Amino acid sequence: MYPLRRNRRLRQSHAIRHLVRETIITPSDFLVPLFVVEGKGIKEAIPSMPNYYRYSLDLLAKEVKELWQMGLCGVLVFVKVPEALKDNAGTEALNPKGLMQRAVKTIKDACPDMLVMTDVALDPYSSYGHDGIVEGQKILNDETVEVLAEMALSHAEAGADFVAPSDMMDGRILTIREALEEAGYTDTGIMSYSAKYASAFYGPFRDALDSAPGFGDKTSYQMDPANRFEAVEEAQADVDEGADIIMVKPGICYLDIVREIKNEIDVPIAVYQVSGEYAMVKAAAEKGWLDHDAVMMEQLLAIKRAGANIIASYFAKDVVKLMAAGVNAVQVFDSWGGMLSPTDYQEFSWQYIQQIIDALKEEAPVIAFGKGCWFALREMSQSGAAALGVDWTCSAQNARYLSGGKITLQGNFDPSRLMSPPKTIKRMVHEMIDAFGKDRYIVNLGHGILPNIPLENAGAFIEAVKEYKPRD
């Protein structure tokens, strides 16, 4: 009761707001949609989806490696099928050497641990642009389901971890689950588009895959946006039929549905923040009407807060880059490399340090440090790192010579020196900074503070850094 209870106490600083925050976005929340095309060397812009692309298989491999290095560990694959291969039966969908099947293998070859989910629906393969087989003006349900089961099985055979039926045909989850079980793919999961609404937000996606319906619309199989309880029934039916994950699509306009399902059904829920939602933010931000990053994060927080365990979003890379932008620098530290011979160091340590530097250097400055690895300073200076950490056993003069003198050096202060009087500590810190680059320096307190060092001595170290002024 006011004034004993003041809710603003928990909002008065950045620190307390973050400490009590209920919902946090991380890279592991995301499933990254990928569009794949035939050809070679293709990274094709999608005009209605700014900064999003279709990739040929060779560049798909490169993109997947980049996603993995960014901490994005799951992809949802879609293919753009050439017109000449489209028909009413979706025949190309079952081709073991089809584009989807080759895309799955390409991803797994490039990054074996990447979680691969595949779109299972006929619209990319249909000459009519519908999710099922067409007879007259009708979309046939049971005949379509049989094809979808074969399609899902071919994806599993190619190496997909999950199949993701997006068609909204009745009974397809059970038929797919039975087909996978009979073929021995008991570990292949199903993420069902359980509550996929007949939304006006899908336009840019259909541009990306050239999969707009050739006649009518999809309201005879996708859900009516006016309905709420039907979504729970659809989700429960899919879980009963063997779905491991259920999806709500689109996202921001259907968060009440997400919460409704979350309250009723105990399985992971994915939300697809669809192309129209992405395009609106991009377009408004380009006009200067919205703060792109703030709106992006607010929408994603709302989706997760509503109950989503997984978010399929075209913003995934933007979010990870935004998170990385808050990092001033990253240190890659090898505490035992100096115990190895130069040959063993190259074989057992350096290759992994180089991989980390390559993965992080575009997102934040990287400081490479190897304890006792003075013999590797020249190689480390050519690694792409922004600075090199130098063990206190190596003088600044030697480090500058060994590294070639063209990279910022990080001086490491021997913690045992903190046993000295505070005035002496300050003098030694200033001497180290002078030696390592005057007004371009980085200071690191060795391997930490020894247990028996007085706190005032550690404080003297910090004060020395703050008080330092470059000498003329």
**Which structure tokens are listed for 74?**
């799951």
Q: How far apart are CA 269 and CA 72, in angstroms?
A: 18
Check if 321 is active-site. no
Q: For the residues of 197-252, what is the DSSP string, one character each?
A: B--GGGHHHHHHHT---SSS-STTTSBPTT-SHHHHHHHHHHHHHT-SEEEEESSG
Q: How far apart are CA 380 and CA 77, in angstroms?
A: 38
Q: Distances from the Cα of 47 to the Cαs of 63, 119, 148, 191, 402, in angstroms?
A: 19, 22, 30, 29, 50
**Which structure tokens are listed for 88?**
């009413």
Amino acid present at 99? L
User: Of 65, 86, 97, 196, which one is the catalytic site residue?
Assistant: 196
Residue in 313, 266, 312, 322 with CA at minimum distance from that of residue 292: 322
Residue in 238, 258, 274, 240 with CA at minimum distance from that of residue 165: 238
Q: How far apart are CA 377 and CA 392, in angstroms?
A: 14
CA triple 217-219-221, angle to 5 deg: 115
**Which structure tokens are listed for 459?**
């404080």
Beta bridge partners of 76: 33, 117
In the numeric block, the tokens 């099947």 are attached to: 101
Check if 249 is active-site. yes
CA dihedral 457, 462, 466, 467 (to 10 degrees): 10
Beta bridge partners of 412: 444
Angle at which helix 275-286 crosses helix 292-306, to 10 degrees, equals 150
Give SS3 for 139: strand
**Which structure tokens are listed for 155?**
């994806």
Cβ(209)–Cβ(172) under 8 Å? no
User: Of 86, 218, 249, 304, which one is the catalytic site residue?
Assistant: 249
> Active-site residue numbers?
196, 249
